[in-house]
Amino acid sequence: MKPLNKNTILTNLPKNRVNLTIYKEITSTNELSKNTAFKNEFNLILAEKQTAGKGRHGKNWYSPKNGNIYMSLSTKKELNYAPLSLLVGIICAQVLTKYTNKGAVRLKWPNDIVVNNKKVGGILVEKVVSDSETTTIVGIGINFLIDPQEKWWGDLSHYNVGDSRDHIISMITSKIINLFNKENEDWIDEWLKYCMHINKEVKIIKTDDSSENAIFKSIDQDGCALLETEMGIKIFNSGEISIKGVY
Ligand code: BTN
C-alpha cells in the first residue's frame, strides 16, 4: 500500500485554508485534533495507524496499519448543522460510490457506512467548547483492508481502491469544506437514497437495553429517526437509541 501523500491530498484543496499533518502512528486523530492549535481555518490530521482509535458510544475503533483511512477535519468556525454527522455520511457514501459499484455503499442510521452488509466505516463528530469559540471535529474511519480475524467487519478490498486513498480523502475533505458554502436543503432525500433500511423492520435498542421492533419510516431535519411502532410514529435522536437487525 502506498503511504499517504501530502501533495496528492492537497492538490484540489484550498491550500491557504487547510493545514494538513500526516502521522505514521498516533493515538487518535480526533484526540490529537483537540490539542492542535489552528494555523488555518481547517486542520486535517491523518494517520496510517491509530493506537487508541475511538468509535461512537465510547467504543474502540480498531485501527491497524492496513492502508485504511483515519482522518479528522477540525474547523475553527463551528459547523453548526444538527445533522452534521448524517451530512458527512452522505458525503462518504457519494465519494465511495464513485470508486465502487452504484448501490454498493449504503448508510445505516445514523451514520454507519455499510458495504455488502458489513460496516466498513464510521463517523465520530465531536465539539470542543472554549470561552471564545467552539470547534467541530469530524472524525472518519474507512476500512480498505481488515485482518482476516476481524472479518465480522467489512472492508473495501473487493473493490481494489487502495491506490485511490489520497483522492478519496481529498474529495471527502473538499465536500465537507463546501458544507460551509451551501444551504443543504435536499439532504434528507439524498440520505434516504443511501439508507439500507428504509421502510424495513428494525430493532430499536434503548439506552436501558430494552428493545422494540419498528418500521424505519424516515428522518427529520435534525437527523432524528421516524419509526412506526405499535404506539404510532415515534421520533428518536441518535443518543436515545441504536438500531439493529438490518444486516
Ligand atoms: C463509529 O463508531 O462508527 C465511529 C468511528 C470513527 C472512527 C474514526 S477513525 C479517525 C477518527 N479518530 C478516531 O479516534 N475516531 C475517528
Longest dimension (CA), the chain: 55
What pLDDT does residue 150 have? 82
| pLDDT at residue 183 is higher than 80 | no
Summarize pLDDT for 16-38 with one digit per residue, the tens: 999 999 999 999 999 999 999 88
* Share above pLDDT 90 across residues of the chain, in percent, rounded to a whole number: 85
Q: What is the mean pLDDT of residues 60-89?
A: 91
The reply to whether 6-192 and 197-244 are identical in fold is no
| pLDDT at residue 71 is higher than 90 | yes
pTM: predicted TM-score of the whole model, two decimal places: 0.96
- Ligand 1 pocket, residues with Cβ under 6 angstroms: 28-30, 50, 53-56, 59, 61, 70-72, 112, 122-124, 139-141
What pLDDT does residue 61 have? 97
What pLDDT does residue 45 have? 98
What pLDDT does residue 146 have? 93
What pLDDT does residue 136 have? 93
Summarize pLDDT for 77-98 with one digit per residue, the tens: 887 776 899 999 999 999 999 9
Mutate which of 29, 124, 238 to test ligand 1's pocket (most atoms within 8 Å of Cβ)?
Answer: 124
The dihedral built from the CA positions of residue 64, 53, 196 and 150, taken in this order, carries a sign that is positive
Which residue would you say has higher pLDDT here, 80 or 219?
219
Q: What is the mean pLDDT of residues 173-183?
A: 87
Give CATH for domain 6-192.
3.30.930.10
What pLDDT does residue 44 have? 98
Q: Cα–Cα distance between 235 and 203 in angstroms, integer?
A: 14
Q: How far is the CA of 61 from the centre of ligand 1 (A)?
A: 6
Summarize pLDDT for 113-168 with one digit per residue, the tens: 999 999 999 999 999 998 888 899 999 999 999 998 888 899 999 998 999 999 99
**How many Cβ atoms from other residues are within 10 Å of residue 74's Cβ?**
25
70 CA closest ligand 1 atom index: 10
What pLDDT does residue 133 have? 85
Q: Cα–Cα distance between 172 and 59 in angstroms, integer?
A: 24
| pLDDT at residue 181 is higher than 90 | no
- Structure-block grid coordinates of residue 37: 492549535
What pLDDT does residue 125 have? 95
Q: Cα–Cα distance between 66 and 106 in angstroms, integer?
A: 23
Hey, where are the domains in the chain?
Answer: 6-192, 197-244
In the sheet with 201-206, reading across from the earlier edge strand, the strands are: 232-236, 225-229, 211-219, 201-206, 241-244
What pLDDT does residue 148 have? 84
What pLDDT does residue 151 have? 80
Beta bridge partners of 233: 228
Question: For the ranges 81-90, 102-111, 236-245, which has the lowest average pLDDT?
Answer: 81-90
CATH fold, domain 197-244, is SH3 type barrels. (2.30.30)
What pLDDT does residue 82 have? 65
